[in-house]
Structure 1
Amino acid sequence: MPKNRRVTIADVAARVGMTNITVSRALNRPEMVKAETRSKIEAAASELGYVPNAFARGLKHSESRLIGFVTASVDNPFYAEMIKAVSRHAKQHNYAILLFDTDGEAWLEANAIETLLSYQAAGIILSPISDEPDYRPDYIDRLHNSDVAVVQLDRTLYNADFSSVVLDNVWAGQCVAAHLLNRVFAETRVSAEAPARLLIAAGPEQSIISRERLAGVQTTLAETDRGVAVDVLWGDYTLEPARDDVGAYIETYGMPGAIFGMNQLITLGALQAMKAHGIAPDTLSVISIDRLPYLDIFDIRVPCVVHDGFHAGQRALELLLERIADPELPQQTITVRGELIE
């Protein structure tokens, strides 16, 4: 038998000289077959390297045990926490996870959704490549017209009617601004000649998450009489662009009073830019959203508004399982609030 051909039930039946039905029963409903016959069939299946087609079995019984997780990037440690939670809790409910890293590419995201629909997945946890209002992928209608349960996690498609687990991004921005006012700009007053400057290294300009976090900062700053000028560097949520943009800002304008990185990777990029320009971490205040792992090894302390990614992933899976069990449930949004770790 060619090594590249999949071993089938018919192959096992031919080896033991029995019918396909008998072999299928022995492998799938062993209680219906005599022990001696079952042992012979199982031995032959093992010798031939037969592997049951779980997907086909799921279709036969009209029950898929597959959940898809589609994410824009697994590079972000926050997403790694969510993936771990989804995977761990899915196993407890006898579901398998099929993970798609779309690497920020719309066509890869569309392919992932199409693949999961063709596999008749029971549900999909989706963290799309963009939450910008003009990002309206064609697969939205496909998902709405299918029987698959969908829960969005962190990023959400604009005006897409799916359940979701999101972060309280406005509050996170407010928390960042309050910390800076209390610890960094405490003595600052309005000065047209030399205002204190807060540099915000942000995500995409049209991103809802970016806009909400910025709004939280601006709202809190506006409630005080301290003059803090805000400079925003629009970019994306990855390290290298943040490093380059913050470096160019420092070269042009010098050191700001503080830097706010809108996520882990952005903040790490800002710290790299500071290092490249000879700025020690203890001479320029930096604050981040979400934890910066392992910085304490290098004795670097960066205050962070930390969200529990594991909890967010777990809640997303729980929400998905509820919708798999009852497709008629109304759409629901769960908001996860972070905590300032100084």
Structure 2
Amino acid sequence: MTRKSDKAATIKDIAQVAGVTNITVSRVFTAPEKVKPETREKILAAARKLNYVPNAFARNIKVSQSRIIGVVTDDTFNIVYSHIIKEVCRLSDAKGYSVMFFTTNGNRQIEARALQTLVSYKAAGIILSVVEDSEQYDKSHIDVVRHSSSQLIQLDRQFDTTLPAVYINNSRAGELVAEAIMKKRYRNVLVVGGSEQSHITLHRIAGIRSGIDDSVNLRCLYTDYRYEHAKEMMQSWFSTVNEHYDVIVGLNGMITLAAINLAHKWGMHDTGFISVDEVPCAEDFNQVIPYVAHDTGQWARVVSENIISAIEGRPYEPRVMINGFLKNL
């Protein structure tokens, strides 16, 4: 990615647009708590308009990139992400790069600050799994990366399907879940996914629907990909709905783990489980759970090699889709 203009915006430019002093603009980027919220928002709006990127390095240091690779994800507790991060660290270290991690915890503002920080430090590359993969998600804060020299690889959740990414074949994952449902002859099925707007959730559910017949009664519950949030929303569901399910399908490992926890709490001992991705600590519940596996080694290797290739200007396959396979069926 390259800047659209060779002339970078300055603090003085922002001050003129926002109608404030240079010092006030500087404070927004160094001590924002010292600036009134309304003034701060006016300055940040001007900065976005001018594609301003605060530089964390002294101005007399002539560098186009640092030896930093940034990883920005929603939840590092995700087993898949932890494997990928480990491989990114290994390969980055071998190539002489340092890795900076940011966990957003589902917060867009944290994601925006993380990206701003990485760009200000002239990160050579950024691996990003966005907070939300929906049409409604406000992606304007990601423009700071688009207008920088930092190379970007999307991980799993995508905000732009035309940009480089390594992601799951979500429709195929749903089809494999449907195959497990039909082979097990489950009839009453509860599918628990992320938000109702999530492309990942919608594609996985569509894949499930395409592979089942009319003998299956399918219910969908939309929650959150993170464990605690999914658990809380499922608990509310189970406390108000009196229905029996032959199987609960979690559309990621964290959701399935939360479902197992609550099923034990509510005495649903005859309920089965199917998961997309491995369920962490499933053996602690004496559960052998059928799940759609994805080769985390392959995923981690492709993400790591692609970001290094992008940084070094070497050819690589910009969009790689990972296909899953059934395990424990």
Q: Give the alignment's Cα RMSD to 1 decimal.
A: 2.4
User: 1:253 is paired with a residue of what secondary structure?
Assistant: coil
**What's the CA shift for 1:129?**
0.4
1:243-322 equivalences under 5 Å are: 243-251=231-239, 252-280=241-269, 283-322=270-309
**How far apart in 1 are the matches of 2:111 and 2:317?**
23
1:25-44 equivalences under 5 Å are: none
Contact 2:257 2:280 in 1 (8 A): no
2:280 maps to amino acid: P
* Residue in 1 that maps onto 2:85: 83
1:311 maps to amino acid: Q
1:271 maps to amino acid: I
2:327 maps to amino acid: I
**What's the CA shift for 1:229?**
1.4
**What's the CA shift for 1:75?**
2.2
**How far apart in 1 are the matches of 2:86 and 2:273?**
28
* Residue in 2 that maps onto 1:199: 190
1:130 maps to amino acid: E
* Residue in 2 that maps onto 1:52: none
**What's the CA shift for 1:183?**
1.4
**What's the CA shift for 1:162?**
2.1
* Residue in 2 that maps onto 1:178: 179
**How far apart in 2 are the matches of 1:242 and 1:105?**
16
* Residue in 2 that maps onto 1:333: 319
1:112 aligns with 2:114: yes
**How far apart in 2 are the matches of 1:244 and 1:254?**
18
Distance verdict in 2 for CA 1:331–1:312, change over 3 Å: closer
Distance verdict in 2 for CA 1:245–1:111, change over 3 Å: closer
**Which of the pair has more CA radius of gyration?**
1
User: 1:279 is paired with a residue of what secondary structure?
Assistant: coil
Contact 1:291 1:305 in 2 (8 A): yes
**How far apart in 2 are the matches of 1:146 and 1:243?**
39
User: 2:280 is paired with a residue of what secondary structure?
Assistant: coil
1:57-206 equivalences under 5 Å are: 60=62, 62-159=64-161, 161-185=162-186, 196-206=187-197
Distance verdict in 2 for CA 1:271–1:112, change over 3 Å: same
Distance verdict in 2 for CA 1:174–1:66, change over 3 Å: same
TM-score by length of 1: 0.74
**How far apart in 1 are the matches of 2:221 and 2:255?**
11
* Residue in 1 that maps onto 2:203: 212
Where do 5+ consecutive residues of structure 2 fail to align? 1-56
Contact 2:115 2:144 in 1 (8 A): no
**What's the CA shift for 1:84?**
1.1
TM-score by length of 2: 0.76
**How far apart in 1 are the matches of 2:223 and 2:63?**
48
**How far apart in 1 are the matches of 2:65 and 2:287?**
50
Where do 5+ consecutive residues of structure 1 fail to align? 1-54, 186-195
Contact 1:247 1:274 in 2 (8 A): no
**How far apart in 2 are the matches of 1:215 and 1:85?**
32
